[in-house]
Amino acid sequence: MGSDVSRETPSSPPGTPEVAGRVFSSARRSLAEAYVASLADAGVVRGLIGPREVPRLWERHVLNCAVLGEAIPEDSAVCDIGSGAGLPGLVLAIARPDLRVTLVEPLLRRTTYLSEVVADLGLDQVEVVRGRAEALHGERTFDVVTSRAVAPLGRLLDWSMPLVAPTGALVAMKGSSVSDEIEAAEPELTRWGCAVPEVVELGADVVSPPTRVLRVAWADPGKVRYGGARGQSRPRRSTKSRGRKA
């Protein structure tokens, strides 16, 4: 085996819980099951998923990410930064075929895995980009920029906001310390000209505890201007004080 492959032994995938039918249509359920099987096998062998996570792949990882779709409008262009094994980006693409999903991940072994899964599952609306989020700054914007356990909010804003379209939003999965993160990131929120962050809980009828999501939009979409060299794009500051959108 190459140095980028774990010596862990794959496990059998867990059975599909009944609640999966609440987030995956009958036409997409087999794709979700194939993805879970891949995570339990290749994901473990390649060191993308710990073997102890296999019994809870559905509840802790796949369903936990799938309910994020409740916060994403129809036909959105979504960018998942630091996608890793595809959580939440691949899960969203499986659950929501209306979404156009770009998976951004800097590590080769991860992008190789992601590309293989995308091809195997026939997810034509998914693009895999090897690189850091900054590589797309000044090049592309998206309706939604998402992530899961990538970085504290201050750093996440610097990576994500240059990718957020004027009428779009950062929609990140966060843990119980999200309020502390928001407080610590107050200077960055002001510098970027963001609206007041919103914290919502999703999927209470699917996962326990519910998935906690942080949504950050622009305070004044009409004043978002992108500029600067590639990798250094930054919207100009709004002259208005930060506040909730009407």
Query: Among candidates 153, 198, 205, which has minimal Cα distance to 180?
Result: 153
**C-alpha span between 196 and 90 (Å, rounded):** 29
148 annotated binding-site participant:
yes
The SS3 call for residue 27 is coil
82 annotated binding-site participant:
yes
The SS3 call for residue 214 is strand
Q: In sequence order, what are the beta bridge partners of 130? A: 105
**DSSP for residue 9:** P
**C-alpha span between 51 and 240 (Å, rounded):** 50
Q: How far is C-alpha 2 from the geometric centre of its chain's CA atoms?
A: 28
Residue 206 sits at the vertex; the CA angle it makes with 204 and 212, to the nearest 5 degrees, is 45
Residues in the chain: 246
- Annotated binding-site members for S-adenosyl-L-methionine: 82, 87, 133-134, 148
- Annotated binding-site members: 82, 87, 133-134, 148
